[in-house]
Amino acid sequence: MAHGIGISVTERLAAAVIVDYTVTGNLVVEPDDGGGTNSLIGVPADTIVQRIAALLERLEIKQAPTHVGLALPGIIRNGIVEDSPNLVQFKGLNMQASLAEALSSRFGKLAVSVTNDANAMAAGMAAGRGYLDRLIRLWFLGTGIGFGRYPQADGVWEAGHSIVTLDPKEQFCGCGGKGHLEGIMGLRAMRLRFMDLEPEEVFAQAEAGESRCVEFVKLWHRALAAATATSIHMSGPGKVFVTGPNAKFVSLPLINEYLNEMVKLSPLQSYSVEVVPGSEDENATIGAAVIASQAAQRA
């Protein structure tokens, strides 16, 4: 794999030089004080693009990159951000062209690719484990719910908005839709549902036997199992990774119990679920560079 650069834009910025599917040198982040939650909300898109260019100045780049990959939340097609509920300032922006222009003074003309951040994480997981030859799916559990797929395929893939209940009272999803997975599992949704408790307290009280919290934790796991089972029925079995800040709440025995109830067709039962806490920035930067490299090879 040629030298590339991977960039992640989520609640903060991250970038790294990627060689042979590995971070080479330093992984740089901004802000780097660990307190950057939602640090990009409200920041103009062109300012963020310039901050990305400035961030790359901190990388140890020993060889000219042949490609740059950017991971960004939202619906992204042909380099254009069609929608990004978490970073609304990017909606409608040709991010591919904007980033290529911002980097041209330093790197000249080079291949730039933009992909959904969860897709990039899935590609990073695949690359790091030698799974680039197989189907990989990933759930990112955070403020919202991201869904990543490797290899990439045409489609929107906003599976965080999968319908997992027909109860019209389930309307906590940030997009305003009813019955969505994110409306049950998302951090924002949990806070709206439990106005008196933080998510950590909900799961702690469930362990202590508090009935309201126990029932919600069952619902939370059943919702994730339902969306995963739907994906398995649509795309087939395979490896499913669960990551993100709220992956710490996942009980694999409970998820597997519910999946066993939902997936009964024998050709579909060779799935497996693995929880991978942390490393979101590293996986996203690696995956963004992998996808950019593959796009450059096809061009």
| Mean pLDDT in order along the chain per 10 residues (299 residues) | 88 93 92 67 92 94 93 93 90 96 92 95 95 95 93 89 96 94 96 96 98 98 98 96 96 98 97 90 95 89
Domain membership of residue 75 as a residue range? 4-122+279-298
145 and 219 assigned to the same domain: yes
Residues 6 or more apart from 70 whose CB is under 8 A from it?
A: 7, 8, 9, 52, 95, 96, 99, 112, 113, 114, 115, 288, 292
The per-residue pLDDT for range 95-137, each reduced to its tens digit, is 999 999 999 999 999 899 999 999 999 999 999 999 999 999 9
Identify the H or E element spanning 125: helix 117-128
Q: Is 22 exposed, middle or buried (0-12, 13-18, 19+ CB in 10 A)?
A: middle
47 and 157 assigned to the same domain: no
55 and 143 assigned to the same domain: no
Find tokens 């796991």 and name the residue: 221
pLDDT score at 185: 98
Q: Residue 59 gets which letter from DSSP?
A: S
Q: Coil, helix or strand for 276?
A: coil
284 and 236 assigned to the same domain: no
Distance of alpha carbon 91 from alpha carbon 95, whole angstroms:
10
264 and 283 assigned to the same domain: no
Distance of alpha carbon 3 from alpha carbon 283, whole angstroms:
17
160 and 93 assigned to the same domain: no
Find tokens 């400035």 and name the residue: 54
284 and 270 assigned to the same domain: no
175 and 269 assigned to the same domain: yes
174 and 226 assigned to the same domain: yes
182 and 66 assigned to the same domain: no
Distance of alpha carbon 5 from alpha carbon 292, whole angstroms:
9
Give the total number of structural domains in the chain.
2
254 and 175 assigned to the same domain: yes
> What is the CATH number for 66?
3.30.420.40
